[in-house]
Amino acid sequence: MAESNEVRFENVDKVFPLDGDYLEVLDTINLNIKSGEFISIVGNSGCGKSTLLKMLVGLDSPTKGKIIVGDRVVSEPRADVGMVFQEARLFPWLSIEKNISFGIANNVAKENRQRIVKEAIELVGLHGFEKAYPAQLSGGMQQRASIARALVGEPEVLLLDEPFGALDAFTRITMQNEVLKIWEKEKRTMILVTHDIDEAIFLSDRIVILSERPGNIKEIINVDLPRPRDRSRQEFLNIRKKILTSFIGNTGLDVEYYI
């Protein structure tokens, strides 16, 4: 029997209707993600990265093929798959603790809700800001709250769709470290969509590179580096070069210029 947080994409295609025609976004995606893995998906804009996550969380459906979490085919939104978006998407009229509590199922008892929210706030480093409102927090702190809201639903699989894209460079690095700490403690399966190659190398066990639209899996790169990872180490730079070569190796551009 498959573990509850294993993920499988089996011959997944996605086609969108477009002005009487069709737009093929994804083509024959086959991918197995092991329980507890941290996977990053990278590729050019429009290649279907975010569409993969939306189908995995149940907000959209494949045109062909199927997506399986554990032993169940994904056919609708489900509590065991959580998602963090690029924008925090917090309710501005609710405090941080009430925003986080919103992610807990309605049938959870009040005393348990309070305990779960408290633990999540501690986990993401927001202690002391429980009564604050989103507008009173920085972008990085809002994203911490968004991650906490996803975690309180106790998902087996956590999806991260460019969650740090709008943050400044220093806050982004801080948030990368925070997510890594959460992953190491919780050992949930995590799948990250990102345009940041260094971010993917820093966080991931494997990096999935998608081709241009229609996206299919061009290459999967293993990141066999000990954690925490030093971004200046030659081994780190070698993986970056390998990814860049996969992206621009046939364009005539000098890969060395981008390293």
Question: CB of 157 within 8 A of CB of 4?
Answer: no
Above pLDDT 90, what percent of the chain? 54
Beta partners for 51?
Answer: none
Instruction: For CA atoms 235, 205, 146, 44, give the dihedral sign.
Output: positive
Alpha carbon separation from 238 to 221, 223, 232 (Å, rounded): 12, 11, 10
Mean pLDDT within 176-202: 92
What is the reported pLDDT for 257? 46
Cis previous bond, 17, omega within 30: no
**Domain residue ranges in the chain:** 1-79+189-259
Structure tokens at 197: 């190659």
Confidence (pLDDT) at 153: 84
Query: To 10 degrees, the CA torsion angle through 215, 219, 224, 225?
Result: -60
Identify the residue with better confidence: 250 or 26: 26
- Mean pLDDT, all residues of the chain: 88
Distance CA 106, CA 69 (A): 23
Task: Give the span between the Cα atoms of 205 and 241, in whole angstroms.
Answer: 17
- The residues with which 222 forms a beta bridge, in sequence order, are 206
CA 166 to chain centre: 15
pLDDT tens digits along 12-68: 999 998 887 889 999 999 999 999 999 999 998 888 899 999 999 999 999 999 999
Give pLDDT, residue 180. 92
Fill in the DSSP letter of residue 211.
P
Q: What is the pLDDT of residue 64?
A: 95
The C-alpha atoms of residue 51 and residue 61 are separated, in whole angstroms, by 9
DSSP helix, strand, coil percent of the chain (3-state; round to 5): 35, 25, 40
Asked if 159 contacts 82 with a C-beta cutoff of 8 angstroms, the reply is yes
Q: Which residues pair with 221 in a beta bridge?
A: 207
Tokens of 204: 């991931």
Q: How far apart are CA 113 and CA 100, in angstroms?
A: 10
Q: What is the percent of the chain with per-residue pLDDT over 70, rounded to a whole number?
A: 94
Q: How far apart are CA 146 and CA 143, in angstroms?
A: 5
Closest CA to 146 of 168, 124, 173, 167: 124
Beta-carbon contacts of 118 under 8 Å, excluding residues fewer than 6 positions away, are none
> pLDDT band at residue 88, thresholds of 50, 70 and 90?
confident
Q: What is the pLDDT of residues 209-225, one digit of tens each?
A: 999 889 999 999 999 99
pLDDT band at 254 (very low <50, low <70, confident <90, very high): low
DSSP string, 169-233: HHHHHHHHHHHHHHHHHH--EEEEE-S-HHHHHHH-SEEEEEPSSSB-EEEEEE---PSSP-TTS
Q: Which fold has domain 1-79+189-259?
A: Rossmann fold (3.40.50)
User: How is residue 218 written in tokens?
Assistant: 């061009």
pLDDT for the residue 256: 57
Residues 123-133: tens digit of each pLDDT: 888 999 999 99
Give the tens place of pLDDT for each residue, 157-171.
Answer: 999 999 888 788 888
